[in-house]
Each structure stands twice: as structure tokens, then as C-alpha cells.
Amino acid sequence: MSMFDKLFDEAKAAFDVAYAPYSNFNVGAAILTKDGAIVSGCNVENAAYPEGTCAEAGAIAAMIRQGHKRIAEVVVIGDAALCSPCGGCRQKIKEFADEDVKVHIANLDGLVTTLTVGELLPAGFELHGKK
């Protein structure tokens, strides 16, 4: 089984348990950390819609909570033609990933496209000396 397949399966499992009663649009994300762990997250909405949490943000929070600091690869899955990370999540991913890290965008059938962090967010905000 390829690493993409492992990440896809984990992202799909997160997608399946997402809490999206307002939009009815589930999203799952899985991250491979630089030290080899796989962590995932799902979108979580609340009654103050749209003040919810994106799947990518949930996965990043889980990654940090588990003591991991750097992203090696990402899969995002949604039931759409192209469910790419929102602008805020692109910036969140950039905080923990190098420009050449692959972000795989998938639908329920499989891979749609792969972009690098640099392609997703070519001019993201960055503080001097951070990383």
C-alpha cells in the first residue's frame, strides 16, 4: 500500500465522522509528519455557522498535540470536483511545511490533483526568523 493510499484511507475515515449538520459538506484531512506519524482531522461545524473548524486545522492541531512539528505530506478529501484547502488552511499548512511538500486533493473516488505548498500559497505570510 502506497503512502498516498494510507493517507487517503485515514482522510476518508475522518471524512466519514465529520460534524457538518449545517452545510452537509464533510471534509477529512490526513497528515504525514516528517517523523513518520499519520494524524487526521475532520471539519466540525457549530450553531454559530460558519464559525467551525476545518479538517486541515483539526489535523494540524492533533499533530501538534501529539508532539510533531513538521508536515511531510497532506491529503484532503471532500465530495466535490475540487476540494482544495481554504486560504486560512493554506497558511496553516505553510506554517509547518516546506514549499515542496505535496498536498493531494481527493474526492471520494480518489486523487484529483497534487500541488505543492508553494503552488497552493505562493506568497504566504511569513515572519522573519520563523521555522
Q: Which residues are catalytic?
A: 56
For residues 3-26, b (16+ Cβ closer than 10 Å) or e, as one string? ebeebbbbbbebbeebebeeeeeb
CA dihedral 61, 33, 89, 119 (to 10 degrees): 170
Please list the residues that pair with 97 across neighbouring strands: 71
